[in-house]
Structure 1
Amino acid sequence: MTRKNSVTLALLFIAFSAFSQQQSAEIKLTAEKLHSRVREWPYPVNGITVPTNAPALLWPATNGKEMVKPMESGSEVPEDPNIGNVRYKIMLASDINFTKDLLTSSEQRWAVYPLHQALKSGKWYWKYAYALKGSNQWTWSTVYDFVVDAKYANQKVSPPITEVLKRNEGSHPLLWDMNRIGEDFYRNNLENPEAKKFIAFAEKLMLAPLPTEQPQRVIDTTGKNKLEKKIIIERMYHGFGDAVGNPVRNLCIAYQLTKDKRFILDAKRRALNIATMNPDGLATGDDFTSGAVLEALGWFYDAGYDFLTPEEKQAFKNIITIRARRVYNHLPNRFELHVSDNHVWQITLRNLAIATVAVINDVPEAKEWLTYMYEVWSARFPVLGTTDGGWHEGNGYFRVNFKSIIYLSQMFGDFSGVDYFKLPWMENLPYYMLYTHPNGAASTAIGDMWENIPYIVKGEAWFADALTYKMNNPYLNWYVDGIKRDYPAYYHGTDDFLFFRLLNYKPNRKLSSTSPENLPKTRKFGDVGVVAMHEDLANANKTLSSYLFSSPFGSSGHGHASQNAFTINFKGKVIFGGTGYYSNFSDKHNLLYYRTSKAYNTILADSLNQKIGEEGYGWIPRTISGKHIQYALGDASNAYGEIKSDFWLNRFKQINIVPSKENGYGDSDVTLYRRHMLQLDGGYIVLYDELEAKNPVKWTTQFHCPYYTIEGENSANAKQQNFIVKTDLGNVTASVFANSPLKMKVHNKFFEAAVNWNKVTNDEGQIKEFKDQWHAGITSELKQKFRYLTIIQIKDGRTEVIKTISNNKGLSQLQVGDWEIKAQLDGEKPVSLQVSNKTVQSLFSYGDLPISFQGKNYVPKIKSSSVLLEMDGSTVSKQEAIDELPDVAKYDKN
């Protein structure tokens, strides 16, 4: 039942051991995937040293016969009817015979077991078992082991569920600890200007008519197929749950702020109205709308409990139970295993948690619901990151998770006494926001719906501000201060994070603020595979920023097949970035272009994309942040090949499309793709690509401009291709070099046309116009081993002519401005890249070229490392980088 990954992760352990002993600068990953769509191997195993004193034990689930397969909310893949027929238990001990420090669990329906007690340092052994429901015949796994380091001895541990349930005993209102803090909440906000403004808003809210079950918008379905009609109908009712549920929540808050019964009685009137809505109807039947209604009913049942008759209480309990069961019954032995079942993590987990706490002492099964959610939260949050603060799917869809991140962190913190805002991931989150979406500037241009955030939008502004109520980070405060200065209209006092601010309101709050001008120019978010490089982080809206992507998650969920892609922003706008439009999660434009490698500034092999799914992964082995040179290395060697994910193959099947070579998919036999990216002072980006395949292929390096026009230029040298980008921001040129002839194609057509058949809107509610965008592809001859060198210039003034100083046996020496660039472009010869500038006294070197700097020769400590030498006053500053694995490859291996 513990089926192992087809390409075992044990090889990662060998690679990591070599790295940790510094025997080699380079690591080659051979695993088929680093994150599986559902868990396929147990954790922790193989004697790894876990980064905690209380790890969560995780294992692949079973239906009693085989491993549970991927299935998720909103998917057409049918749910396994047997996932609810299994029970699990675990044993943990400090000896292999399970006699010392023995811990045994009770039976449970789910395949995670977070340890809510600190373990002593040393080696630990564990195993798990399953049995069918009603059976006492247990099947045990093999024994696994891990090590706890003494340095984690004083780490705070979350309490067991028994304490959490006890915390929820008592009278209503239970939500947000109101039965304990309600009076303080009321008194603390009496003079809060934001509370007064909200109360005035609530007064007007009571005048609104009761809602009826009608679409939020009307969209013509004429000529659409069955699947498109289904999606359009869901789109017509999208947001209905929030529209009818939010007023109930807001009136409950107004009552708790004022003790004015008018508010709670109007909340009751509205709650009774939505309680009668059909849970299977179009208006409140899907997971989003039903979840919003469920949350609203929980809010009123808890806050307005004393205003209900016994019959009304029973009616509310009945409808809450019906809607809650519909969510919960599809979670155990499935949801906890999933890399990220988006709809649940984004919204319905929060909806269910609020409703569950509201009825925790009145509906017997609610205790099981809360136990499950607390255990999964303790074991898995944050699902699309680990410690670096990043979010795998990009910033466009990160926003959909904001409310749950804030409110579930508050709620589970209330229950457990754990400050979830002090998790390592949370403490790094402000830096992720600051580096990947600076105020006044565009974001990273990657992932679903990135095009909806060409600047800081309301949800991002509110989320960042909310974090300041729980974090003492002066850079975050600086970030929020700037947003409030530039977008004052965003802060109208009735947004989704208002209640969080009221809960944590401090009348005399004073926040220290520090500009990020002295932070490193480059920062790596290795767990999600993003590197941000900034000319001036404090003024990103006026200067040059660039990003390199290569994600260990692959292209799961709302992520894209964009390994080793880059984005370049200048004066706050995207010059080079992803292209296409989010019209639906998996329509033709999405599956054949928008989420594919064809839409990104990365490389195709024989015109074929990288794999869609967790198997098509990349990673960021190296970064260096310097004064004048910024550097990142991405590895997409595992990103290419046939699509293997059943989930994505099913999505193709749903729209009658085959992921064939004609449609851009297939095995191109790529074995190596390492992209070195440098951002140089003066407005230069340098790319150096190492490429290999099992057989000769045509390599195409791509450039996409979502907002500007590309124009090709004639080249006297077939081994060099040039183009310009016409912008209103300055001058942009690109030159691509190789050791053999190249061909360039410039055009403004998508591989699959973009049609807004679903009438999707931007963040302001306006229907998006899908315009043509410009693309350049530069293709090699058939080559098994190949190198590209790309020099991009982005300047206010004129760009420089790139001078060829020499070209000897594939080693090209070029001069652009004050920068000298040497690159070995013959794929059959050892890789070499060296970039230097005598004026700013900086030198970068990778490969076999001798290093001479300031009249002295330097030898790297480790062969094939990346070296940066710069003058720091009168001394030489030396940085040397070798490959470093992301956390998932360090710890979660089999």
Structure 2
Amino acid sequence: MRRLWTLLLCLTAIQSLAQHQPAIITLTAEKLHARVREWPYPANGITVPTNAPALLWPATNGKTAVLPMESGSAVPEDPNIGNVLYKVMLSTDRDFKKEVISSAAQRWAVYPLHQALKPGRWFWKYAYSLKGVVKWSWSETYDFVVSARYANAKVSPPVSTVLKRNEGAHPLLWNMNSRGEDFYRNNLQNPEAKIFIAFAEKLMLAPLPEEKPQRIIDTTGKTALEKKIIVERMYHGFGDAVGTPVRNLCIAYQLTKDTRFILDAKRRALNLANMDPNGLATGDDFTGGAVLEALGWFYDAGYQLLTPQEKDLFVKVITLRAKRVYDHLPNRFELHVSDNHVWQITLRNLAIATVAVINDVPEAKEWLSYMYEVWSARFPVLGTTDGGWHEGNGYFRVNFKSVIYLSQMFGDFTGVNYFNLPWMQNLPYYLLYTHPNGAASTAIGDMWENIPYIVNGEAWFAEALSFKLNNPYLNAYVNRIKSDQPELFKGTDDYLLFRLLNYTPDRKSPEKSFADLPKTRLFKDVGVAAMHEDLSHADNSLSSYLMSSPFGSSGHGHASQNAFTINYKGKVVFGGSGYYSNFSDKHNLLYYRNSKAYCTILADSLSQKIGEEGYGWIPRALSGQHIQYALGDAGNAYGDIRSEFWLNRFKQLNLQPGKDNGYGDAGVTCYRRHMLQLEGGYIVIYDELEAKKPVKWTSQFHTPYSKIEGQEIENASRQDFLVKNEDVIAAATIFACNPIRMTIHDQFYEPALNWNKVTDDKGNIKDFKNQWHAGITSLPQQRFRFLTIIQIKDGKAGLLKTIADKDNNCHLKIGNWEILAQLDGTKPAALQVIGQEAKALFSYGKLPIRFQGKTYTRKTSGSSVLLEVSNGKLNSQEATDELPDVAKYDKIKKTP
């Protein structure tokens, strides 16, 4: 009886807590992810989701905080970042007298704990000192809690163990000094290995490369900045073109033990070693990094074939090129939300070269220590646990090789299976939900337009992951791609070595049907809600996406908070527009990267902020059989641009990020977008908008591959248009409670010019064609609502009926669905969708819920409710706002 009473008391306490938990959470932080770290982690007494957290803190140059400066940026590097040392101290008591853990002095501002902490409260602080100065300046004390639930979690080993495992004889890379014989024997009958060896035979016949451009582009009439970018473009890919053959010949040698391959690799590597490190061909971070990696590959695999003089040459050149990368990393790179070039490519280049010379170059042990510590503390940099990637699929693929090979490399050194990380385990779902086989992707972020369908890099990456994850849904995804696009898997590719390292002749690849998965999946840490009519046949059905990123528009991300994308029969119907010609030319800054290019809201014709400060998030999502739902919040996305990095980009182009160019502060305080996908080909979007003063609200619609035609409507508070292409006719209707006007055109706010001769994935120079756009604009209103109904069908759109409503709600009927919405901004927001035939209902707000002849009372005021009857049983779901991980754990204040 005592146990029963205890249980009842606990349940009562939980219910009471739930009742007092607010349904709607308002975030007030200026940013959730700082461009460089501005506050310590973990702090504020949070319970960390691990038993060995990484300690992170703001860096200093000895006088001021370290400012943002990416590799390749025009922002000059702080010359004093290399003059600082740090150390940290942890303890179970605030006075640091019990169970104290102290670090040695180090050059970098991260400290991953490679030991399991006992459960309970821990205190920590960090200090810095200038090199050569004994005095240490200590921070205040921070605290966090380790939960007993993580007590048995495996912990990565310390740096000393990693260095110890690299003390053996060559070849060191991929543990070939111990794995090499097994690698050779295991692949003797591997059909793919045999094909590759035949490929390597032909490779030896190719002439030695010359230091010359990959392509010629006319620079006549271009500005100095444009000329610099064009020259880089002319040599882009040179490093891979000359370095990849060296790697491939080394792999062929390890597969066959045939010295012809390694001797030809030597011939080519010596040619690379004699190339001008300051020349145009191999002087930048990408081309130089690829050459560095190739030199490391041969030095390791062909070490026994080098004369003392040749060893000296390779050590000298590798050290020179490696230091060019490494010397700009400590006390800078680890602080950035993501220094893209390094994470994408040069970290992998440096790691491979470093392991190759680890026992011959004294500094290399520091290089490897740094990379391992940053990897342990920061990977995955643009995701957390949900499997998503902030920048969208277009630029995610640039990170694929590093994700695969650095996970393999550090796993070899540590015994830790990095493919077991929660992010890795969820990654298959991100791939198949955001880029289904035979269908378009989410249409956001830089270069999204280059991947209207799955391209070779994505296919190879998914296949490589399947070797480690063995997820039955991932296996099905890969096998479908192979079946539909077998041409992608012919010949060799960059993931061959990974497949050879993990080859098992009798490997089983169990599959499961996508029909077993929910129709909707939320990736809340990167802000993507994916809704599918039929995930198994996304190439012939309706898919929609709502995006609102906690990362803001950092890196290759865009100011696209609360933007939606709608795909039908595998093609983008509504989505982003414009073209990626360069990271920050005029078209990029004034259109492609900002909110004008997305199906989201403008306030007084002004874009959301570019930078980490212009963030959004997705508080809710519900997955049903007939109704899919997501709620995005972009209330923090608007205002003046504050990021010094982006302000510098505008300055380089002599542009002002003011109202004349579509930027500025319209005083937006609330933008909550509810998006529903209904069975039968219907999308419902309900926008709650509020500002400090009356503003003109514009709801935007972009159709990058279709034409928009306006429809004549007598009702001033309603606008209709059609979207037409060869596969579909989509009908859109937008309602408001006040007059709204519509503008349709096929021009960009800033013209798109392919001055940089950007090519598609097949190498063809892209034609930057105009695209169609519609904008629906209100009169100035402080509080405003839009209701949008979109029908996407093969044939003629269904009739949208307006029903008289005694409570002055907008009351509609379309197909088998009934929709009620409160459009008066002075009244509480409300939306209800009822499907009598589908036996499904969605409700938000205070409208009474009558479902299947019964009255339903929501548990929490302000929640979103989804009710459906399946097999005679009621399925009830209720959602309130839930924070992304970064707002739960890594925050400045204790409460948002």
Report if TM-score (shorter chain) is over 0.5.
yes
Give the match for residue 301 of structure 2. 303
The total of aligned residue pairs comes to 878
Among 411, 414, 418, the residue aligned to 2:412? 414
Partner secondary structure for residue 656 of structure 2: coil
CA distance in 2, matches of 1:726, 1:23: 46
CA distance in 2, matches of 1:510, 1:251: 30
Among 263, 267, 273, the residue aligned to 2:271? 273
Among 300, 319, 322, the residue aligned to 2:320? 322
Among 473, 476, 501, the residue aligned to 1:503? 501
1:832 and 2:805 equivalent?
no
CA distance in 2, matches of 1:317, 1:432: 42
CA distance in 2, matches of 1:550, 1:808: 35
CA contact (8 A) 2:52 2:155 kept: yes
Give the match for residue 63 of structure 2. 65
- Post-superposition offset of 1:18: 12
CA contact (8 A) 1:18 1:24 kept: no
The residue type paired with residue 213 of structure 2 is P
Among 637, 640, 662, the residue aligned to 1:639? 637
The residue type paired with residue 630 of structure 1 is Q
Give the match for residue 440 of structure 1. 438
Which digits, 9 at most, give the CA deviation of each residue in 1:20-46, with x for residues without a partner?
775210000000000000000000000
CA distance in 2, matches of 1:415, 1:100: 32
- Post-superposition offset of 1:728: 1.6
Give the match for residue 351 of structure 2. 353
Which digits, 9 at most, give the CA deviation of each residue in 1:552-590, with x for residues without a partner?
000000000000000000000000000000000000000
Tell me which moved more, 316-325 or 791-800: 791-800
CA contact (8 A) 1:346 1:400 kept: yes
CA contact (8 A) 1:534 1:540 kept: yes
CA distance in 2, matches of 1:296, 1:463: 21
Give the match for residue 10 of structure 2. none
- Post-superposition offset of 1:690: 0.1
The residue type paired with residue 256 of structure 1 is Q
- Post-superposition offset of 1:199: 0.5
- Post-superposition offset of 1:810: 4.3
Distance change in 2, residues 1:19/1:337 (3 Å)? farther
CA distance in 2, matches of 1:470, 1:751: 46
CA contact (8 A) 1:440 1:541 kept: yes
Among 556, 559, 564, the residue aligned to 2:557? 559
CA distance in 1, matches of 2:652, 2:98: 53
Among 483, 486, 511, the residue aligned to 1:513? 511
CA contact (8 A) 1:709 1:727 kept: yes
CA distance in 1, matches of 2:185, 2:540: 45
Partner secondary structure for residue 469 of structure 2: coil
Partner secondary structure for residue 280 of structure 1: coil
Distance change in 2, residues 1:396/1:517 (3 Å)? same
CA distance in 1, matches of 2:340, 2:753: 25
Partner secondary structure for residue 633 of structure 1: strand
TM score, norm. by length of structure 1: 0.98
- Post-superposition offset of 1:875: 2.1
- Post-superposition offset of 1:297: 0.2
Give the match for residue 820 of structure 2. 822
Among 394, 399, 402, the residue aligned to 1:401? 399
Which digits, 9 at most, give the CA deviation of each residue in 1:375-420, with x for residues without a partner?
0000000000000000000000000000000000000000000000
CA contact (8 A) 2:19 2:860 kept: no
CA distance in 2, matches of 1:281, 1:790: 56
Give the match for residue 485 of structure 1. 483
CA distance in 1, matches of 2:727, 2:824: 36
CA contact (8 A) 1:700 1:779 kept: yes
The residue type paired with residue 357 of structure 2 is V
The residue type paired with residue 145 of structure 1 is D
CA contact (8 A) 1:555 1:617 kept: yes
Partner secondary structure for residue 164 of structure 1: helix
Give the match for residue 340 of structure 2. 342
Structure 1 residues 457-606: aligned runs within 5 Å: 457-606=455-604
Give the match for residue 39 of structure 2. 41
1:853 and 2:851 equivalent?
yes
The residue type paired with residue 290 of structure 2 is A
CA distance in 1, matches of 2:583, 2:302: 39
CA distance in 1, matches of 2:620, 2:733: 25
Distance change in 2, residues 1:868/1:438 (3 Å)? same
The residue type paired with residue 503 of structure 1 is L
CA distance in 2, matches of 1:850, 1:216: 66
Distance change in 2, residues 1:516/1:99 (3 Å)? same
CA contact (8 A) 1:442 1:453 kept: yes
CA contact (8 A) 2:464 2:498 kept: yes
Is there any run of 5+ residues in structure 1 with no aligned partner, and where? 1-16
CA distance in 2, matches of 1:487, 1:804: 46
Tell me which moved more, 872-881 or 180-189: 872-881
- Post-superposition offset of 1:876: 1.4
Partner secondary structure for residue 170 of structure 1: coil
**RMSD (Å), alpha carbons:** 1.0
CA distance in 1, matches of 2:728, 2:608: 33
Structure 1 residues 175-254: aligned runs within 5 Å: 175-254=173-252
CA distance in 2, matches of 1:87, 1:526: 36
CA contact (8 A) 1:19 1:25 kept: no
CA distance in 2, matches of 1:806, 1:155: 60
Partner secondary structure for residue 468 of structure 1: helix
- Post-superposition offset of 1:812: 1.0
CA distance in 1, matches of 2:512, 2:303: 46
Which digits, 9 at most, give the CA deviation of each residue in 1:428-466, with x for residues without a partner?
000000000000000010000000001010000000000
CA distance in 2, matches of 1:100, 1:525: 41
Partner secondary structure for residue 44 of structure 2: coil
Partner secondary structure for residue 558 of structure 2: coil
Give the match for residue 785 of structure 1. 783
CA distance in 2, matches of 1:516, 1:23: 35
Give the match for residue 389 of structure 1. 387
- Post-superposition offset of 1:772: 0.5
CA distance in 2, matches of 1:19, 1:639: 31
CA distance in 2, matches of 1:626, 1:704: 28
Give the match for residue 734 of structure 1. 732
CA distance in 2, matches of 1:309, 1:20: 73
The residue type paired with residue 871 of structure 1 is V
Give the match for residue 615 of structure 2. 617
Identity of aligned residues (%): 74
Give the match for residue 120 of structure 1. 118
1:100 and 2:98 equivalent?
yes
Partner secondary structure for residue 511 of structure 1: coil
CA distance in 1, matches of 2:614, 2:18: 26
- Post-superposition offset of 1:802: 1.0
Distance change in 2, residues 1:254/1:340 (3 Å)? same
Partner secondary structure for residue 470 of structure 1: helix
Which digits, 9 at most, give the CA deviation of each residue in 1:649-673, with x for residues without a partner?
0000001111110100000100000
Give the match for residue 889 of structure 1. 887
1:841 and 2:835 equivalent?
no
Give the match for residue 30 of structure 1. 28
Which digits, 9 at most, give the CA deviation of each residue in 1:609-639, with x for residues without a partner?
0000000000000000001000000000000
Which digits, 9 at most, give the CA deviation of each residue in 1:29-76, with x for residues without a partner?
000000000000000000000000000000000000011010011100
The residue type paired with residue 523 of structure 1 is R
CA contact (8 A) 1:251 1:264 kept: yes
CA distance in 2, matches of 1:510, 1:816: 48
CA distance in 2, matches of 1:891, 1:561: 24
Partner secondary structure for residue 765 of structure 1: coil
Give the match for residue 293 of structure 1. 291
CA distance in 2, matches of 1:773, 1:231: 26
- Post-superposition offset of 1:518: 1.7
Among 108, 111, 118, the residue aligned to 1:110? 108
Give the match for residue 362 of structure 2. 364
The residue type paired with residue 102 of structure 2 is T
Tell me which moved more, 488-497 or 860-869: 488-497
